[in-house]
Every structure is written in structure tokens, then in C-alpha cells.
Structure 1
């Protein structure tokens, strides 16, 4: 007795050639990386450039930005600087219209002001939301408007966009919002060939997180939650971003690629 759920021989491809893995290369693509002067953002820009993309690095610090561009060029990549504050939406929109269009956007600009929820000040809340949510939202919108032939948008979210954390109510709120934003945009823009995804890293050791890692109690807490035997480093995020930007992820949208060493597994 046949089972209609099992493909028949007649449904098999006419050619018996072995399928080939889609390319992870990004040659001929233009990428905008926000928050690219240091840390995870710089790692993302370096990874995209190594994969062949022409990278525009955006950040607020012109000196750090130029140093990052010089390092990528020295390594053989294509890069140039675009001083930009994503929280200044009007200036950001003008810059994107002037410098675009782009095939790839990586939202890596972010900030955190941690502390007990009962002690959150309005200026702390607004500062985090202006960058992590408002700036990310409107930069994504501005770049997507120019993606007439499709494209890939990757936002560096966080494992804290999927779970909660001590002294991180505002940060978690911003990243949970980014996850919802990503799903909604993926639904709207899918018919236009625009893929929208997030990468959700665990604690990544960068100059900005050294204060956290230097605290013995915090470090013990981090190590107790990560199931693999080490903490994260920027290189752990690089492959994930290249994958989502490339044709190898052509059927992935509205998803969160979790790079957390097993933190959210339980």
C-alpha cells in the first residue's frame, strides 16, 4: 500500500548530478555594518570583507573607524568609513540615501546600562532604546528601502533577547523588541526577497565587556550558564553573520541564530 507522503520516483529530479553547496562568498555585494569600529561590529565587518564584500563601516568615533578601515584594507579587504550615529535618525537616513544602496546590512551598534529594575532611570532607558531599538529599527527601514533586488539584514541581538538576566531589564526589553521587529519585517519583506534575521550571542569577550569578566561573581555566573567549556569571543559571531548574509542561507528569514554555547538550552 503506497504512502502519498513519500515522494515517488517520478517526482525525483531529472538530473542525477550531485547537488552543490550554495556559495558563502559575497563578491560583488555591498555591505553596511553599523557599530563597526570595535568589538563584535568590527569582527562582522572583517568577516564580510574577507568573504569578498565591499564594506562600509559606520560608527560614531571617526578615529576608531579609520583604524578599523585601515586594518581591513591591510588584510586585503575592501572597506571605507562612514561616521554615523544611528540614534540621529534624520542624519542616518540622509547618509544611507547618499551612500546606498546596499545588499547587506549588519546592525551591530548597541549599548547597555545595567542595573536593578527598581533603580532604572528614564535617561538610562531612553539611551539604550534609542540605539538598540529605535536606531536599529529606522536604519533597517532606510536600508531596506533601497534593496530593490532583495538583500540580507542581520541584527546582532543577544541571548538576552530570548531569556531574562539579572540587572538587565532594560537591555532585555530592547533585545526582545528587536526579535519581534525582525519577525514582523521578515513577513512583510519576504515577497521582496529581503531576508531579515538576528544573531544572538552569549557574553562575548571584548574591551567593552572586560568589566563584567573581571568581576569574579559575574564570571562564575556566566560560566555556570554556558554549557561549552569557555566564554565567547568575537570570532564565534563572524561565521554566523557571513552565513546569514550569503546564498547559503537563502531560505532563512525571521530566524534567530543562537550563538550562546548552550546558555538558552536549559
Structure 2
């Protein structure tokens, strides 16, 4: 039986939000597994730094995931460079510091929802347009999408919306042989959660409410994405898989 890594080798994978944090971890993991990678983020400099650290020759696409034309240009670039797209990982996301709903401005709300939800939709839309049967769309969700926290209304709503979007897209794209799934992440000590860990009170609160009594590390992240991008997950669709060390249990 082939391993998950072997099943990913040669697959053509787009990773958004690849310039830093968890996206950078995913880029390294898929590159090491032999995938042909397309890196997407706003900062071209950050993407070039990531690309320089990889063994392969990734496609670098700097732009805004909120722009439909940009997402379509990424798909076109993957077709030109690699001949297609097998998996599209909608990982780009933003989150602010905690703020009460009365202090959350309309502009902040729009940015979070536009990047985390609209950007996910536009990426999935662009990927689905060029995928064949066996394609994979993977969305980075959050435990906060199903278990919101006070002060993070916009973020929680955007991730809850993304989880619902996954279910709708799975039904629509299933007849084409394309699977759509989300990974609901807990608290990782890199990416958007890194600054939270530097706050002792928040750190203690999160650890005490996590069954494994620790934050997630980069090593805890890639396995589920590699699985969902591989042939091993061919009969998994429309679901949200939680990777949170048991945070949602307590």
C-alpha cells in the first residue's frame, strides 16, 4: 500500500498564505513530499524567501486572494507551469487582536470576512474550474468557527462560514470527482496564534482548555493536509477535521 507521502508525490498543489506561519510549514512539507507547488501570498519578497528554501522549483504568485482575477491567474499559471492543479489549499487568513463588537469597525469586519471567507470562495472557485476528477480543495478553518470566543466575532463568523462553504461545495463538486474538506485548527505556536502565546494569561487559558495541555507545533500540522491532498482521502468530502489537541473538548 502506498504511503500518503508517495501519493502526494508529483501532485500539483496551490498553497495560499504561503509566505509565513502555517502556510510556510505546509509549503515545506509538500515540497519535501515531492509535490509541485504554487506559492500564493501578498508579499513577493516573502514568497521568494520561502521558494529559496525549497528543493523544488515552485511557482510564485504574489497578489490578493480577495481578487477573483488574481485567483484565476494563479490557476492559469499552474496550468502553464505544471499542466494542471490537483489540490488547492485555501490557507490565507487574517485575525486581529481581541476587540468587542462595539469596537470592531466595519472596515476590520470586511477585511477579515473578505480574506477568510470570500478569499476562500474565490480560491476554491478558481481551482475547481481547472481541476479534473480526483481534485482536492482543502480549507484551513478553525475551532473558533464552531466554538467562538468573545471578542473574535468577525474571525469566528468568517471561519464558521468557511466550514459551511465546504459542505456546500462538496455537494456541488462531488459529481465531478472533486473533494472539498476543511481542517479546523486549534492553537498553534506559529502564524496567527504566535502573538497570543506571548501573553501569559492567554497562554495559560488556552493550555488549560486543551486536553493535551500544550500548543500545537509545526510538526503537528502537515499530516492531515498531506492525507487530504492524497488519493488516500478519495472518499472523504464535505467534512471538517479538527486538529486542536482536544481544545474543543473542554
Q: TM-score, normalised by structure 1?
A: 0.87
Partner of 2:18: 36
Separation of aligned partners in 1, 2:179 and 2:70? 25
Report if aligned partners of 2:138, 2:180 keep a CA contact under 8 Å in 1: yes
User: Which of 75, 82, 89 is residue 96 of structure 1 equivalent to?
Assistant: 75
1:241 maps onto 2:238 in alignment: no
Q: Provide the alpha-carbon RMSD of the alignment.
A: 1.5
- Mapped to 2, the partners of 1:210 and 1:119 lie a distance apart of 23
The equivalent residue for 1:53 is: 35
Q: Could you say if the C-alpha distance between residues 23 and 164 of structure 1 is closer, same or farther in structure 2, counting changes exceeding 3 Å?
A: closer
What is the distance in 2 between the residues matched to 1:216 and 1:198? Answer: 30
Aligned partner of residue 157 in structure 1, secondary structure = strand
Whether contact under 8 Å (1:24, 1:248) holds in the other structure is no
Residue 92 of structure 1 and its aligned partner are, at CA, apart by 2.4
Q: State the number of aligned residues.
A: 244
Cα distance in 1 for partners of 2:87, 2:75 equals: 12
Residues 58 and 84 in structure 1, CA contact (< 8 A), matched pair in contact too: yes
Q: How does 1:207-246 map to 2 (within 5 A)?
A: 208-246=192-230
Q: Compared with structure 1, are the counterparts of its residues 142 and 207 closer, same or farther at alpha carbon in structure 2 (3 Å cutoff)? A: closer
In structure 1, distance between residues paired with 2:112 and 2:10: 35
User: In 1, Cα distance between the equivalents of 2:4 and 2:106?
Assistant: 46
Q: 1:208, CA displacement in angstroms?
A: 4.2
Distance in 2 (CA, whole Å) between partners of 1:95 and 1:41 is 16
Question: 1:24 Cα deviation (Å)?
Answer: 3.8
**Cα distance in structure 2, aligned partners of 1:248 and 1:260:** 22
The 1-side partners of 2:200 and 2:15 are apart by 33
SS at 1:72 equivalent: coil
Deviations 1:185-223 (A, max 9, x none): 001111111010011111111154332111111111111
Q: TM-score, normalised by structure 2?
A: 0.92
- Cα separation, 1, equivalents of 2:191 and 2:246: 23
Give the unaligned 5+ runs of structure 2.
Answer: none
Matched, 1:139 2:123: yes
Q: Which whole-Å deviations, capped at 9, do the CAs of 1:239-263 have from their partners, x for residues lacking one?
A: 1100111111111111111111111
Task: Structure 1 unaligned segments of length 5 or more: list them.
Answer: 1-19
Quote the Cα distance in structure 2 between the aligned partners of 1:109 and 1:152: 17
In the alignment, the residues of structure 2 paired with residue 64 and residue 45 of structure 1 have an alpha-carbon distance, to the nearest angstrom, of: 12
Using the TM superposition, give the Cα deviation of residue 89 of structure 1 relative to its aligned residue in structure 2, in angstroms: 2.0
What CA distance in whole angstroms lies between the structure 1 residues aligned with 2:18 and 2:39? 5
Name the residue aligned to 1:13. none
Task: Report the CA distance between 1:224 and its aligned residue.
Answer: 1.4
Q: Which residue of 2 aligns with 1:205?
A: 189
From the CA coordinates, give the structure whose radius of gyration is larger.
1
